[in-house]
Amino acid sequence: MIFDSKYDLKDESETLLLGKKIASHLHPGMMIYLKGDLGTGKTTLVRGLLRGFGYQDKVKSPTYTLVEPYSFNTFMIYHFDLYRFKNESEWDDSGFREYFNKNSICFVEWPEKAGDVLPKPDIAIELSHQNIGRYIDLKSYTPQGAACLKAII
């Protein structure tokens, strides 16, 4: 881990705003992993990230489809939800490995469900419930991830 930052998020609007801020420092080739219990705001954060790239349509959780693609002029964003994975062999069987490339940004909810087969993320985000709002822990694992997180402080 290179950089670690923690925040309290009071409500959904703060989660969306943080997503927009992070998005302004992301670029193709990066991977962001999102961890947290059901209902902690992972998909809400992805919605904020996509809004930061100018995407205004509905953002749905890919719980059943496993991946939702979003096409932009010069790159793709892939939003994965691996909640339904039972073991890491499902990752290899899915064919998703090819989505992780220099022309895409990948957001992965429930990365732990793929075991150790996923590449190291640039940024890992963990969300948890609090009495009011959410608690978020952002960690970078690459210099690009660290630069992104340092820029939003």
Which tens digit of pLDDT belongs to each residue from 30-85? 999 999 999 899 999 999 999 999 999 989 888 778 899 999 999 999 999 999 88
Q: How many domains does the chain have?
A: 1
Task: Note whether residue 44 is domain-resident.
Answer: yes
* Residue at 31 is within a domain: yes
**Exposure b/e, 108-126, CB count within 10 A at least 16 = b:** bbbbebbeeebeebbbbbb
CA-closest candidate to residue 127, choices 139, 141, 140: 139
Q: 12-23 and 143-152 are packed helices; what angle lies between their axes, rounded to 10 degrees?
A: 130
Beta bridge partners of 77: 70, 105
Local confidence band at 13 (pLDDT 50, 70, 90 cut-offs): very high
Instruction: For residue 118, give both structure tokens.
Output: 């996923």
CATH number of the domain residue 31 falls in: 3.40.50.300
Asked whether residue 138 is domain-assigned, the answer is no
Is 141 inside a domain boundary? no
Domain assignment of residue 139, yes or no: no
Residue span of the structural domain in which 81 resides: 3-133
25 occurs within a structural domain: yes
CB atoms within 10 A of CB 75: 17
Q: What percent of the chain has pLDDT over 90?
A: 69
- pLDDT band for 141, please (50, 70, 90 cuts): very high
